Amino acid sequence: MSAVPSFSFNDRDNARNYCAGGPANFMPGFFLMHRLAVQLLSERAADGARVLVLGAGGGFELKAFCEARPGWRYVAVDPAGAMLDQAKEEIGTAASRVEWIEGYIDDAPAGPFDAATCLLTLHMMKDDGTKLAALKETRARLKPGAPFILVDNCVDAAAPDFRRQMDRYSQFAQDSGVAPDFVARARESVESAGTCVSGARNEELLREAGFGTIEGFYTALSWRGWVATA
Ligand SMILES: C[S@@+](CC[C@H](N)C(=O)[O-])C[C@H]1O[C@@H](n2cnc3c(N)ncnc32)[C@H](O)[C@@H]1O
């Protein structure tokens, strides 16, 4: 698997800024998306379900899931220790319901899990086999038919309207009140990483990884979300 990306989430200041600045300032409907994720996962994940959370740093989705479903247990995977520390702080006493793995999907237990999520994380991996491997490894850890939620920034670096999509990404953050220099740095980080792909490409990767019934449930500017079954 790839190393922690160049804008390092393993840097304590970056991790703190991510959580303080809040992804909700960059993604329209961030908290509503969590609510929808809980609803969709709950179609199959009963009380007592074991849920794999890939890219769990910061703890935003863990907090939403823990509050909405007190009976679920979690395995939280993230290569950035600083982001996992933030997550532990964020969810407080619910941290006892989480097994923390500082690492990549390959480091996660075999499961089988009742559900899994990968929120705002796949776009940080290269499309050189790394995204596909992460999706395959996630699916391999799920019970047959178990739900998987993928939400990703689908600004497509190869698309002719890339600049316009990035302008909209930046404008939303600016209108949310994020400081212009922070917006500029976030934009630069997305652009220089060059790891975002289109929604169509993500759907293709989900299919290639073996997921079925791939349904879109969320669209906001360049952000897309799907629920798929293992
Ligand atoms: C933009 S943050 C999103 C965090 C959280 N899911 C959220 O929605 O707020 C991306 C997270 O993905 C983690 N990450 C980067 N590469 C990863 C990989 N290959 N596998 C798992 N997590 C990864 C980063 O360390 C970071 O914590």
**pTM over the 0.85 mark:** yes
**Residues shown for the chain:** 230
Return the C-alpha torsion angle 124, 130, 136, 137, nearest 10.
-80
Secondary structure of the chain: what % helix, strand, coil (to 5)? 45, 20, 35
CB crowding 108-146: b at 16 or more within 10 Å, else e: beebebbbbbbbbbbbbbebeebbbbbbbbbbebbbeeb
Domains of the chain, earliest start first = 12-229 (3.40.50.150)
Stretch 126-145: mean pLDDT: 98
Mutate to test the pocket of ligand 1, among 121, 132, 136, 224 (most ligand atoms within 8 A of CB): 121
Q: Which residue has the higher pLDDT, 57 or 4?
A: 57
Q: Which atom of ligand 1 is nearest to the CA of 130?
A: 19
Residue 64 Cβ < 6 Å to ligand 1: no
Instruction: Count the neighbouring beta carbons within 10 Å of the beta carbon of residue 182.
Output: 14
Q: Which of 212, 209, 12, 45 is nearest to 125 (CA)?
A: 209
In this prediction, residues 116-123 reach a mean pLDDT of 98
> Which residues make beta-bridge pairs with 147?
229
What is the predicted pLDDT for the residue at 7?
59
Distance 19 CA to ligand 1 centre (A): 12
Q: If you average pLDDT over residues 194-206, what whole number do you get? A: 96
Helical H segments across 45-193, by residue range: 60-68, 81-91, 130-140, 162-175, 180-193
pLDDT digit string, tens, across residues 37-89: 999 999 999 999 999 999 999 999 999 999 999 999 999 999 999 999 999 99
Ligand 1 in reach of 23 Cβ (< 6 A): yes
Going from the Cα of 49 to the center of ligand 1, the distance in angstroms, rounded, reads: 22
Among 77, 78, 135, which residue has the most ligand 1 atoms within 8 Å of its CB, making it the best to mutate?
78
User: How far away, in angstroms, is 205 Cα from ligand 1 center?
Assistant: 18
